[in-house]
Amino acid sequence: MTAVHPVVRLLAQRIALGLVLLWAASVLIFVGTEILPGDVAQSILGQAATPQALANLRADMGLDRPPLERYLSWLGGAVRGDLGTALSNGQDIARAMGQRLSNTLFLAFWAAVVAVPLAILLGLVAVRYRGRWPDRLISGVTLATISIPEFLLGYIVIFFLAVEFRLFPSVATIHSGMSLADRLNVIVLPALVLVLTVLGHMMRMTRAAILNVMQSAYIETAELKGLPPFAVIARHAFPNAIAPVVNVVMINLAYLVVGVVVVEVVFVFPGMGQYLVDHVSKRDVPVVQACGLVFATVYIGLNLLADVIAILANPRLRHPK
Amino acid sequence: MRMPLSAAIGLFMTALFFAAAILAPLIAPYGMAEIVGQVWEPMSRDHWLGTDNIGRDLLTRMIYGGRTTIFVATAATLLSFSLGSFLGFTAAVAGGWVDQVLSRFVDLMMSIPSLIFALVVLSVMPVTLPVLIAVMGLLDATRVFRLSRAVAVDITVMDYVEAARLRGEGRGWIIFREILPNALSPLVAEMGLRFIFMVLFISTLSFLGLGVQPPLADWGAIVKENREGIVYGIPAALVPAVAIAALAISVNLVADWILNRTASLKGGRGD
């Protein structure tokens, strides 16, 4: 047998690390909801609950079993796709979540389709006109979008685009019977807010990553041989900045998944975020655990993907000596 | 060293926000939960910003709301800084397995988005101000840990730290007398950014109904209370946006200045 290619070994290591992280995150989520001083049954029923009611609920939820056993059965179920049933209405969580997860991914997907190319383009423009007015304008506007929380951006957008000018609907109701065009029309505003929130970070980090490459000697060579500035950036700086830029994009996509929570509440969009927030206020612990696990999986998965692409994009690793 | 104009403006605005927060009962024109007019009155001489969804004076709500928001954010920032930097310095000075355990645990904490983790924890904890401050502070301490560990690792290899070690000083001395004074500038600049993050964090939680509980006001809750007005073209819910953005930009200007100052110090131009 020949030796394993170093890229394969590196990838295997990284994926194994991702799995370990995911498992540890499941422990953290479980510990966070079950072993904290606030007893779940107590917090559902409130201080005035009778001891009998408490004991019944604890037995119902299986709280009388030891924590380790409960954790293992919860994790075992989650791996097989069984997330348990909701306390508040007794529905199967996995089934209730399916449609919502696809709605959320639909929204996040279209936001990403717009935000990623736009952020990279603006980053390139900012580097090209570094220190001059286009750079300052882009930096100033993105600083403003970073400084305002998502939910306020949401209401600002609703106030001006949905109420004053009546361009788009302010409430994003979506269901499976709608055509793609209708669905896209409905998610214009929430997607716009998501784009605005991640655009600033993504553009600033892209700009920093490319500026870092611009310090290299080969960039100076390209400049000295007389290439136009944009060609220097597009042909020499950008390809070498791909690994950090991919990293930036993935970090921001992961951030998008979190931003979705708030934006969904603003636009009453039937997705995962709305589902999570509703059940946190109902203190429906099984649903909260399941949502936390799904969000953590997506987040860790995207970060893992970023590392995998960075490894594959690094030419020094592709061609071993 | 002279202070640039932008930093001076930022410092002045930040001071103004803090002063309004501390003096809220003195400068607010009405009582915090006092109903003084009709629902959603427009701006007038009696009510500079109009009234809110149940007829309370909006300017008063904003001032008291700023008090809550700034208090919670400040307390959480202090908690995250004392905890995060202490553990970060300890990890850097002790090295070995202490460093490994702390660093890997922080990696784990950061593998779950903080908003999601906060929501998970708040689903079983009672939502009170001390709990909110503790949850926010603990989650944010992970970021401070990473920064302060990175800064301290650079400092621990300096000759003066080595000298202190050879003198036989204890770990406490090395952390507080050798590393802390030299790591202070980047940490203070970071503190500004963390504070802003905390303001956004508590506003988001309150907006979701899982932060500050009524009748107490805070900027996120003001948005939540007045959100129905938006569809009728009443901009009351947008007022906190202006306050949050103004505070965020002011603190950013100050933090930028501190960061630039330390960068020029490192360049060896002296001060």
Q: How many domains does one find in chain B? A: 1
Q: Which residues of B touch A (CB under 8 A)?
A: 107-109, 111-113, 115-117, 119-126, 196, 200, 203-204, 207-210, 220, 223, 227, 230-233, 235, 237-238, 240-241, 244-245, 248-249, 252
CB atoms A258 and B115 under 8 Å: yes
pLDDT tens digits for B205-231? 888 888 787 777 788 888 888 877 777
Query: What is the model's pLDDT at position B266?
Result: 46
- Size of chain A in residues: 321
Taking the C-alpha atoms of residue B30 and residue B46, their distance in angstroms, rounded to an integer, is 10
**Helix/strand number for chain B, H first, E second:** 11, 0
CATH number of the domain bearing residue B103 = 1.10.3720.10
3-state SS track over A144-178: HHHHCCHHHHHHHHHHHHHHHCCCCCCCCCCCCCC
Contacts of B203 in chain A (CB under 8 A): 149, 151-152
Cβ atoms of residues B217 and B61 within 8 Å: yes
CB atoms A144 and B240 under 8 Å: no
A28 touches chain B (CB under 8 A): yes
pLDDT tens digits for B46-76? 766 777 767 677 788 888 888 888 899 999 9
**B21: domain range?**
5-270
Listing DSSP states for A27-46 in one string gives HHHHHHHHSSSS-HHHHHH-
Query: pLDDT band for position A185 (50/70/90)?
Result: confident
Nearest to B204 among A33, A170, A262 (CB): A262
Phi and psi angles of residue A319, each rounded to the nearest 5 degrees, phi first:
-115, 85
Contacts of B223 in chain A (CB under 8 A): 151-152, 155
Task: Dig out the tokens for A90 from the structure.
Answer: 């007794």
Neighbour tally for B193: CB within 10 Å: 18
ipTM of the complex: 0.78
CB atoms A159 and B235 under 8 Å: yes
pLDDT tens digits for A26-62? 888 888 777 555 566 666 666 666 777 777 777 766 6
Query: pLDDT band for position B83 (50/70/90)?
Result: very high
pLDDT tens digits for B228-257? 777 777 777 788 888 888 888 888 888 878
- Residue carrying structure tokens 């600002």: A156
Nearest to A152 among B109, B123, B240 (CB): B240
Q: What residue type is B156 in one-letter code?
A: T
Which of B128, B130, B134 is closest to B212 using CA atoms? Answer: B128
B215: cis peptide before it, omega within 30°?
A: yes
Question: Which A-chain residues 164-203 have CB contacts (< 8 A) with chain B?
Answer: 164, 170
Query: pLDDT band for position B79 (50/70/90)?
Result: very high
pLDDT tens digits for A218-233? 888 888 888 888 788 7
Question: Is A279's pLDDT higher than 80?
Answer: yes
CATH placement of domain A98-283: 1.10.3720.10
Q: What residue type is B84 in one-letter code?
A: G
Of residues A64 and B247, which shows the higher confidence score?
B247
Task: Dig out the tokens for A225 from the structure.
Answer: 């041989």
Listing DSSP states for B87-118 in one string gives HHHHHHHH-HHHHHHHHHHHHHHHTS-HHHHH
Share of chain B above pLDDT 70, in %: 89
Least confident of A239-248, B31-40, B231-240: B31-40
Contacts of B249 in chain A (CB under 8 A): 143-144, 147
Q: What is the distance, to the nearest Å, from the Cα of residue A229 to the centroid of all Cα atoms in its chain?
A: 34
Neighbour tally for A238: CB within 10 Å: 19
What residues does each domain of chain A span?
98-283
Q: Please enumerate in sequence order all residues whose Cβ is within 8 A of that of A35, keeping only pairs 6 or more positions apart, or say none.
A: A67
Phi and psi angles of residue B33, each rounded to the nearest 5 degrees, phi first:
-110, 20
Nearest Cα of chain B lies from the Cα of A217 at a distance, in angstroms, of 22
* 3-state SS class at B33: coil
Query: What is the model's pLDDT at position A3?
Result: 65
Nearest to A285 among B108, B123, B244 (CB): B123
Cβ atoms of residues B113 and B52 within 8 Å: no
A292 touches chain B (CB under 8 A): yes
Question: Is A123's pLDDT higher than 90?
Answer: no
In this prediction the pTM is 0.82
